[in-house]
């Protein structure tokens, strides 16, 4: 039997319950696996119950049933559905120690081509839904018992050309993180901003973007893409006791991509750091395998 090869000590999160939205694929799936490997019980949420059931089965096999994983179908844009989701997690687990606000999505389009409906759909997915999840976890449990929230945003510094709706929503989520860290203390609220991560989500973009995706590594000073495990490790750190005095912060996982400047012609010096990949079920996105 293979299991998640976490850099954190065994049993780090034993007995805790962590909710992971968008837990059926990508960074959410990877994070759910690492949390379970560290002893946490996980409640994974998403819109497609079949994907959640698949991850639930993976976790049960990897941990030999030691980690309890429950699945919860939910559209996080629906306020009543979110209230019901959090209540269902509390009924199933009795507690919520952590929330990984990972669910989100967007589509490529220049600003001038984005309709009001398209803008609203992305903002509700990437900002409003995350707020609703965090608020309900806080109101229904964390206000009385404490906890930690990690909001997953994106590399939106200096704008997000081609995905301005998502950039605006992610920037709003960062500001929400900073506000909640004050209003909800001692509940800790932080953000993780993944850059270009080699994740299954890359295969959801149209073929017109494939060349751009394959060229991304050349725009990163560390000259590679990140792994799902590297994003998950940052999330786990912010949920862990080691981050007990960290709140209102944002941890970038991007290989310094936003630091590349047109005035400085070199993007790094051609070398890279070894990638960390502890996820035993990780797979290279098809768009990168076909390069």
The CATH number covering residue 55 comes to: 3.40.50.720
Domain residues for the domain of 39 are 17-202+226-256
Token pair for 69: 């994983």
Tell me what the mean pLDDT of segment 236-248 comes to: 98
Say whether pLDDT at 284 is over 60: yes
Tokens of residue 16, six digits: 């805790």
Residue pLDDT, tens place only, 120-158: 999 999 999 999 999 999 999 999 999 999 999 999 999
Q: How far apart are the first and last CA of the chain?
A: 32
Q: Considering the domain boundaries, does residue 216 fall inside one?
A: no
Q: Which pLDDT value is given to residue 140? A: 98
Are 37 and 233 spatial neighbours (Cβ–Cβ below 8 Å)? no
Q: Would 280 be classed as within a structural domain?
A: no
Laid out side by side, the sheet with 17-21 consists of 69-73, 41-46, 17-21, 98-101, 148-152, 188-194, 250-253
* Residue 268: per-residue pLDDT: 86
Strand 250-253 vs strand 188-194: parallel, antiparallel, or unpaired? parallel
Quote the pLDDT of residue 186: 98
Report yes or no on 88 lying in a domain.
yes
pTM: 0.94
31, 230 Cβ separation under 8 angstroms: no
Residue 211 has pLDDT above 90, yes or no: no
pLDDT, position 207? 83
Residue 84 pLDDT: 98
Interhelix angle 228-239/26-37, rounded to 10 degrees, is: 50
pLDDT digits (tens, 9 = 90+) for 49-103: 999 999 999 999 999 888 899 999 999 999 999 999 999 999 999 999 999 999 9
Report the alpha-carbon distance of residue 272 to residue 269 in Å, rounded: 9
> Is residue 47 domain-resident?
yes
Q: What's the pLDDT score for residue 229?
A: 97
Nearest to 26 by CA among 213, 170, 231, 215: 231
Average pLDDT, the chain: 94
1 pLDDT more than 70: no
Answer yes or no: is 3 within a domain.
no
Domains held by the chain: number:
1
In this predicted structure, the answer to whether residue 104 has a pLDDT above a threshold of 80 is yes
Note whether residue 283 is domain-resident.
no
Output the pLDDT for position 2: 67
Confidence of residue 291 (pLDDT cuts 50, 70, 90): low
CB 26, CB 228: distance < 8 Å: yes
- Residue 125 falls within a domain, yes or no? yes
DSSP states along 155-215:
--TT--TTBHHHHHHHHHHHHHHHHHHHHTTTSEEEEEEE-SB--GGGGGS-GGGHHHHHH
Q: Strands 148-152, 41-46: parallel, antiparallel or unpaired by DSSP?
A: unpaired
Q: Is residue 275 part of a domain?
A: no
Sign of the CA dihedral 140, 194, 78, 84?
A: negative
């Amino acid at each position: 039997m293979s299991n998640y090869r976490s850099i954190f000590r065994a049993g780090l999160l034993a007995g805790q319950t962590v909710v992971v939205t968008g837990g059926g694929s990508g960074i959410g799936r990877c994070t759910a696996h690492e949390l379970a490997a560290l002893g946490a019980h996980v409640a994974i949420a998403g819109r497609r119950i079949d994907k959640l059931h698949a991850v639930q089965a993976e976790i049960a096999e990897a941990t030999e049933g030691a980690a309890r994983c429950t699945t919860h179908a939910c559209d996080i844009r629906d306020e009543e559905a979110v209230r019901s989701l959090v209540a269902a997690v509390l009924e199933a687990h009795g507690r919520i120690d952590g929330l990984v606000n990972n669910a989100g999505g967007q589509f490529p389009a220049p600003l001038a081509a984005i309709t009001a409906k398209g803008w609203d759909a992305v903002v509700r997915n990437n900002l409003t839904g995350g707020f609703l999840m965090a608020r309900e976890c806080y109101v229904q449990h964390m206000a009385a018992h404490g906890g930690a929230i990690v909001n997953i945003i994106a590399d939106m510094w200096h704008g997000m050309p081609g995905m301005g709706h998502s950039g605006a929503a992610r920037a709003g989520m960062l500001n929400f993180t900073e506000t909640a860290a004050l209003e909800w203390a001692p509940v800790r609220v932080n953000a993780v901003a993944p850059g270009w991560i080699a994740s299954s989500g890359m295969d959801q973009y149209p073929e017109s973007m494939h060349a751009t995706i394959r060229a991304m590594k050349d725009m990163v000073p560390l000259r590679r893409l990140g792994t799902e495990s590297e994003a998950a490790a940052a999330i786990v750190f912010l949920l862990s006791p080691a981050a007990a005095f960290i709140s209102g912060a944002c941890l970038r996982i991007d290989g310094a991509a936003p630091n590349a400047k047109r005035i400085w012609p070199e993007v790094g010096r051609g070398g890279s750091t070894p990638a960390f990949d502890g996820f035993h079920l990780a797979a290279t996105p098809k768009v990168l395998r076909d390069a």
